[in-house]
Amino acid sequence: MLNALMNCFKIPDLRKKLLFTIGMLVVYRIGYWVPVPGIDQQILKDFFEQETSDGSAFGRVAQFVSIFSGGTLGQSTIFGMGIMPYISAAIIFQLLQSAVPAIKKLQEEGPSGRQKIQEWTRYATIGLCIVQAFGWLTFITSSGIVYEAYAGNPMWWVMAITAMTAGTVFLMWLGEQIDKYGIGNGVSLIITAGILAQMPGAFLWLVQNSPVGQIGFIGSLLGIPQTDPQLTWMQLILLLGAFVGVVAGAVLITVAQRRIPVQQAKHTRGRRVFGGQRSYLPLRVNHGGVMPIIFASSIMIFPSVVFGALAQQSQGEGGWWSGLMQFLGDNFVMGQYPYILLYIGMVYFFSYFWTTVQFNPEDMSKQLRDSGSFIPGLRPGPRTAEYLETVMERITYVGAGFLSIIAVIPMVVQTSFNVDFMVASFLGGTGLLIVVSVGLDLIQRIEANLLMRNYAGFLGGNDQGKGPRIRGTRS
């Protein structure tokens, strides 16, 4: 591992890409500390901490948004909205490709069509930024977080909305520059950097509230008072073991594949016979990636908000309606059994939905037929498409089960051990899957650069590039 890391900086081209990527991420983290003028940051911080600790609907929304904004919404900085508006716009146009024939035709035109869709995505990002920034500033103004001298000034509203919109557009540009001159997916790396930036705070909370913080020199070094810790040694060991197990499971589900054998037809030209090679068609077990959890988490915010508001409104009225609303308000909260059941159902639904949008068995069967390839034992055409659809349905069921387990673990841990959500989020959910998938993608790209120049990769091997590599599991 150490030799592979040193080899990365021996190759001039790879060294430039790595240093450029690191530099762009440093610029992103600097913007984390540039606040929007006119907002009382201390009151905003206290407000966020109060809402999060109470487990209110707004607190859950803020926790979900902080995954993509790196926590900057709580400080209301120029990068407060993060890269989330750009992701939302990209998802919208990706869904429109399957619903609007004109956009699908544009996508099939090649680089020129994709460039046009990318241009529309940028314009949509600006529109989403303006709407979201206006909504966010309206909320904090009504909560008394904005100074009175600024709240009624139209120029301040224009300045604040422009600053937050420009921050997201700058992050979008930053991601595109990483794609062009750096290594890895720029937008994904920005999200990952925001998630990992919260890890020191989670580690510090774990030390402060576990027996480790009561050890003499550690407690004195961190200024931890000598009190009874919230966690026992057994709970701490279980949390660490769960972290290792969940990370291993996330890696497994990310790289897992169902390999379908594909035979290439033989072609006779003169006295020579071409083709006949046997290869594999890899189908990812988790074809939807992290998108099902993102969709499910977004949708599950609404029942919590609606039932919570109705329960608060009908409190003290009596009758069956008030009792029903109180029951729904108490049970559709993160960590409760009905909430978890509905959440798992939503993960399964969006897993199949996203697979249906992204995976087209008919197009794949046509591509196999046009390239002169076929699946042994199956006729090219409709029979092959039917087989691919059946296989995809079965492996999606397994992949959605893995996603459900990973998505539910943070809720169970937070409820069982009464730990902070910031700590529990590293034991599963959207953030962990993003970090694992982006980390694997980055390692694979660096490994490809090393092996292309006959250097040993991260997973061992010799200087001729021979050795184990990251690949999907065999089925």
Three-state SS string over 14-31 comes to HHHHHHHHHHHHHHHHHH
Which candidate, 181, 156, 162, 259, places its Cα nearest to that of 472? 259
What's the mean pLDDT in 327-347? 84
DSSP conformation letters of 60-84: HHHHHHHHHHTTGGGTTBTTTTTTH
What's the mean pLDDT in 164-169? 91
Name the phi and psi angles at 314, rounded to 5: -95, 5
Would you say residue 475 has pLDDT above 50?
Answer: no
Question: According to the model, what pLDDT value does residue 93 have?
Answer: 86
What's the mean pLDDT in 60-86? 70
pLDDT in tens, 191-240: 888 888 888 888 888 888 888 777 766 666 666 776 777 788 888 888 88
Question: According to the model, what pLDDT value does residue 58 have?
Answer: 61
| 37 contact partners, CB below 8 Å, separation of at least 6 | 150, 156, 159, 160
Would you say residue 170 has pLDDT above 90?
Answer: yes
- 200 or 1, which is more confident? 200
pLDDT band for position 47 (cuts 50, 70, 90): confident
- Write out the two tokens for 351: 């897993």
Question: According to the model, what pLDDT value does residue 76 have?
Answer: 73
Question: According to the model, what pLDDT value does residue 126 have?
Answer: 93
Rounded CA-CA distance 459/84 in Å is 33
Question: According to the model, what pLDDT value does residue 22 have?
Answer: 92
Question: According to the model, what pLDDT value does residue 295 have?
Answer: 82
How many residues are given for the chain? Answer: 475
Alpha-helical (H) ranges within 418-460 are: 421-424, 429-452
Would you say residue 25 has pLDDT above 60?
Answer: yes
Question: According to the model, what pLDDT value does residue 375 have?
Answer: 87
Q: How many CB atoms lie within 10 A of CB 73?
A: 22
Question: According to the model, what pLDDT value does residue 293 have?
Answer: 83
pLDDT band for position 253 (cuts 50, 70, 90): confident
pLDDT band for position 51 (cuts 50, 70, 90): low
- 149 or 75, which is more confident? 149
Most distant CA pair in the chain, distance: 91
Contact by Cβ (8 Å): 295, 288: no
The mean of the pLDDT values for the chain is 81
Question: According to the model, what pLDDT value does residue 465 have?
Answer: 45
Sheet holding 373-374, edge to edge: 278-284, 257-264, 373-374
pLDDT cut 90: percent of the chain above it: 12
- To which CATH superfamily is domain 9-197 assigned? SecY subunit domain (1.10.3370.10)
The tally of CA atoms less than 13 A away on the side-chain side of residue 449 is 22
pLDDT in tens, 377-426: 888 888 999 999 999 999 999 999 988 988 888 888 877 877 877 777 77
Which candidate, 429, 457, 430, places its Cα nearest to that of 445? 457
| 94 contact partners, CB below 8 Å, separation of at least 6 | 357
Question: According to the model, what pLDDT value does residue 221 have?
Answer: 66
Three-state SS string over 330-358 comes to HHCCCCCHHHHHHHHHHHHHHHHHHHHHH
What's the mean pLDDT in 450-468? 60
What's the mean pLDDT in 349-377? 86
Question: According to the model, what pLDDT value does residue 72 have?
Answer: 54
Question: According to the model, what pLDDT value does residue 473 have?
Answer: 44
Terminal-to-terminal C-alpha distance of the chain: 28
What's the mean pLDDT in 2-12? 77
Question: According to the model, what pLDDT value does residue 452 have?
Answer: 78
pLDDT in tens, 307-334: 877 877 777 777 777 788 888 877 777 7
Question: According to the model, what pLDDT value does residue 196 have?
Answer: 85
pLDDT in tens, 256-304: 888 898 888 776 666 676 666 788 888 888 888 888 887 887 787 777 7
Q: Where are the domains of the chain?
A: 9-197, 199-227
Highest mean pLDDT among 15-24, 240-249, 361-370: 15-24
Question: According to the model, what pLDDT value does residue 442 have?
Answer: 87
pLDDT band for position 458 (cuts 50, 70, 90): low
